[in-house]
């Protein structure tokens, strides 16, 4: 995977030369006219408008909708001819960047053969698609096409990022995307309401890194409601919700090694095995994830043929059983409904906030709080958090919140390493509202405010979890006599009532006066 990231970085920095800018419609009336006039390394800059065209090129080129996808639309439906909205015909080495378009595809061909890719077809070379909307591609009438939106076959590398794929369909594999390449990165994308008659409702691919994506309401007529991986893959910081398969794997169907980190699988279903995930060979590891309310008639929410391990994850309300094939499992510091043997595992309602409305955070009192293992938290070997370090643990949850947030009112039941506090189990660290987040220090004494209160070095007479000295300083409470005790809680019945430094008759006289006024 490290080679993948390096090669894609080199691609993004060096694939495109400093060629000319060709403007549409300012210099050329159509996009295809600009492509015909371009040479390798040029940029075709397309202004807002709807372009009813089918495009084709074999150039290394950048095709950019300068006004963004909402205003720049490439619509091949009903355009003259047949084929994809954009056909990139590379045999090897070519590179294309497509940015800032909404693309409506049509029946797709490549080299005159029905193949797939209603919006974009690419054969060989490198393809980057970013900030695009690929929608309403419907491949039903061409024999056996795959990749309803994008077909990228025999590729050197494919990058899809910050894009939306919705309401695409094919009768083959990959309702939205078919990406056959040894290097595939899909990041920051939404896949919604895509479908396939065969398998892979959203994506069919080989060796992907999928990160920060949402897969929602995708479906397949056979296996893999959302994603089919015909090799090994890594998926992190992503959400799979309400995907369904008429075969196996409601969300995922994976043939080889699978690594899942900080993901949510909610309300996925299959008619076969693996309501959330069906995995076949080699190893699968699930870490810091939530597998909730997935269903399958047999073999659980997560079904695997071989070695399976999991840590810091939640398995709750899943089908007849949460896990299948337990003989090789190594499960630690997980919440598993019904219980499961392993260090740190327990059976208790994790108290998820509002999963129906996609809020997967932990409620107050969740037993998952401060119950994970810091020792089992992975290292950021590919520096995906971008801090320049590869030896540190992932310091943030799937939403970007800091990990290891301490709740002082919850016992630390997790496993520590050199960090101060154990992380929460699941993909999202519970955000502790101020001032109980363990870090406030309003009085500036370098000690947490709650610790000041608990050790009685500060009072909190109004019980708002803020030291009274801070409430006095900001005007919440008053202290007219400056004795540090809020006037609202001042006890007037003290021995030296006249505050002359002596206990004498005058204090007794003042006491009797106060007593007659109702002082207890």
List, as one string, the DSSP characters of 37-68.
H--TT-EEEE-SEEE---EEE-S-EEEEETT-
Confidence check: pLDDT of 504 > 70: no
95-99 and 61-65 beta bridge pairing: parallel
How far is 173 from 187, CA to CA, in rounded Å? 21
Q: Which of 212, 308, 218 is nearest to 254 (CA)?
A: 308
Which segments of 229-307 does DSSP mark as H helices, in order?
none
Task: Give residue 2's pLDDT band: very low, low, confident or very high (50, 70, 90).
Answer: very low
Phi and psi, residue 459, nearest 5° = -95, 160
How far is 174 from 15, CA to CA, in rounded Å? 27
How far is 329 from 315, CA to CA, in rounded Å? 14
Dump pLDDT digits (tens) for 32-69: 999 999 999 999 999 999 999 999 999 999 999 999 99
Beta carbons within 10 angstroms of residue 117's beta carbon: 33
Give 125-143 as a 3 state SS string: CEEEEECCEEECCEECCCC
Confidence check: pLDDT of 111 > 50: no
pLDDT for the residue numbered 106: 77
Phi-psi region of 482 (alpha: psi -120 to 50; beta: other; left: phi over 0): left
Dump pLDDT digits (tens) for 426-467: 999 998 654 444 457 787 776 777 777 877 888 888 877 788
Dump pLDDT digits (tens) for 177-202: 999 887 999 999 999 999 999 999 99
Q: Token pair for residue 321?
A: 């059983």
pLDDT for the residue numbered 14: 42
Q: Which helix (H) or strand (E) holds 13?
A: helix 2-14
Confidence check: pLDDT of 4 > 50: no
Q: Which of 160, 132, 148, 130 is nearest to 70 (CA)?
A: 132
How far is 16 from 128, CA to CA, in rounded Å? 11
pLDDT for the residue numbered 38: 96
Q: Which of 207, 122, 136 is nearest to 165 (CA)?
A: 136
DSSP state of 382: T
Q: Compute the mean pLDDT over every residue in the chain, rounded to the nearest whole number.
A: 85
How far is 280 from 395, CA to CA, in rounded Å? 31
Burial group, residue 6, by CB count within 10 angstroms (0-12, 13-18, 19+): exposed
Q: Token pair for residue 193?
A: 């309401």
pLDDT for the residue numbered 484: 85
Using alpha carbons only, what angle is made at residue 480 by residues 479 and 486, rounded to the nearest 5 degrees?
20
Q: Higher-confidence residue: 388 or 480? A: 480
How far is 423 from 397, CA to CA, in rounded Å? 10
Q: Higher-confidence residue: 306 or 344? A: 344
Summarize the confidence of residues 147-164 as an average pLDDT: 93
> What residue ranges do the domains of the chain occupy?
433-482, 490-520
How far is 325 from 346, CA to CA, in rounded Å? 19
């Amino acid at each position: 995977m490290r080679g993948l990231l390096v090669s894609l970085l080199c691609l993004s920095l060096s694939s495109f030369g400093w060629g000319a800018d060709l403007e549409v419609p300012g210099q050329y009336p159509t996009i295809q006219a600009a492509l015909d006039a371009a040479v390798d390394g040029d940029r075709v800059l397309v202004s807002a408008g709807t372009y009813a065209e089918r495009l084709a090129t074999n150039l290394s080129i950048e095709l950019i909708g300068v006004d963004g996808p909402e205003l720049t639309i490439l619509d091949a439906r009903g355009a003259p001819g047949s084929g994809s909205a954009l056909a990139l015909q590379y045999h090897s080495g070519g590179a294309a960047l497509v940015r800032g378009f909404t693309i409506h595809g049509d029946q797709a061909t490549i080299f005159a053969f029905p193949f797939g890719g209603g919006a974009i077809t690419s054969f060989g070379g490198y393809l980057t698609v970013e900030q695009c909307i690929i929608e309403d591609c419907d491949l039903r009438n061409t024999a056996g096409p795959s990749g309803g939106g994008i077909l990228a076959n025999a590729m050197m590398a494919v990058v899809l990022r910050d894009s939306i794929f919705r309401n695409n369909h094919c009768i083959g594999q990959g309702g939205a995307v078919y990406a056959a390449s040894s290097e595939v990165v899909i990041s920051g994308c939404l896949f919604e309401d895509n479908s396939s008659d065969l398998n892979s409702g959203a994506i069919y691919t080989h060796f992907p890194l999928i990160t920060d994506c949402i897969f929602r309401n995708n479906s397949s007529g056979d296996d893999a409601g959302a994603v089919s991986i015909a090799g090994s893959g890594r998926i992190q910081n992503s959400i799979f919700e309400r995907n369904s398969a008429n075969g196996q794997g409601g969300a995922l169907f994976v043939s080889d090694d699978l690594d899942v980190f900080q993901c949510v699988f909610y309300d996925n279903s299959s008619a076969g095995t693996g309501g959330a995930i069906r995995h076949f060979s080699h190893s699968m590891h699930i870490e810091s994830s939530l597998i909730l309310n997935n269903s399958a008639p047999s073999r659980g929410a997560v079904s695997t043929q071989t070695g399976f391990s999991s840590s810091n994850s939640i398995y709750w309300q899943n089908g007849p059983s949460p896990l299948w094939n337990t003989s090789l499992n190594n499960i630690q510091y997980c919440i598993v409904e019904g219980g499961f043997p392993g260090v740190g595992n327990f059976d208790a309602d994790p108290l998820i906030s509002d999963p129906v409305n996609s809020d997967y955070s932990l409620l107050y009192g969740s037993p998952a709080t401060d119950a994970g293992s810091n020792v089992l938290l992975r290292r950021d070997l590919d520096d995906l958090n971008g801090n320049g370090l590869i030896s540190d643990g992932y310091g943030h949850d799937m939403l970007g919140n800091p990990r290891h947030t301490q709740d002082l009112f919850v016992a630390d039941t997790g496993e520590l390493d050199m960090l101060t506090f154990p992380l929460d189990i699941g993909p999202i660290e519970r955000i502790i509202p101020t001032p109980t987040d363990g870090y406030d220090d309003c009085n500036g004494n370098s000690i947490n405010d709650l610790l000041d209160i608990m050790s009685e070095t500060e009072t909190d007479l109004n019980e708002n979890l803020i030291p009274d000295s801070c409430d006095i300083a900001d005007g919440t409470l008053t202290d007219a006599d400056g004795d540090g005790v809020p006037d609202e809680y001042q006890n007037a019945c003290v021995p030296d009532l006249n505050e002359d430094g002596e206990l004498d008759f005058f204090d007794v006289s003042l006491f009797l006066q106060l007593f007659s006024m109702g002082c207890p």
